Structure 1
Amino acid sequence: MGIDRESDTQAGIQIGPTSLGMVRIYIEGDGIDLPLDFEPEEAEEIAEELRAAAERARAASRPKKGGKGRK
């Protein structure tokens, strides 16, 4: 499976701080139980990557402006 392929797999995600000062991303689904812990700085980098990907996805789904143009 690649980053640009659709999937029928469903999973839940929870994000929060741990008692040890880490940021945990917890993914749970069919056959998946995956806690991922990150230093706060790493979590901020991930958040920036998520925002950038959301902007690119939003831009890709917008209708193109201009249409056919003038002749």
Structure 2
Amino acid sequence: MGINDESEIEANLQIGPTDHGMVRLFIYGSTIEIPMDFDPDEADEIADEIKAAAATARKVKR
């Protein structure tokens, strides 16, 4: 499966700080839980990548 492949899988995303000073992305669905911890600098980089992807997606003709 690639970035452009559609899927019927449903999942939820929670984002928040941990009590260890990390930023957690918690992805969960009916059969899976994926906790992903990042230090604050890594989280900033991920946020920048998401913003850049959103800006590019806005330019795509639908």
TM bucket (normalised to shorter chain) is over 0.9
1:2 paired to 2:2: yes
Structure 2 distance, partners of 1:36, 1:44, is 14
RMSD: 1.0
**Any stretches of 5+ residues in structure 2 without a counterpart?**
none
Q: TM-score, normalising length from structure 1?
A: 0.82
Structure 2 distance, partners of 1:20, 1:29, is 25
Provide runs of 4+ in structure 1 moved above 2 Å.
none
Aligned identity (percent) is: 55
**Structure possessing the higher radius of gyration over alpha carbons:** 1
Question: Which residue identity lines up with residue 50 of structure 2 in the other structure?
Answer: L
Q: TM-score, normalising length from structure 2?
A: 0.93
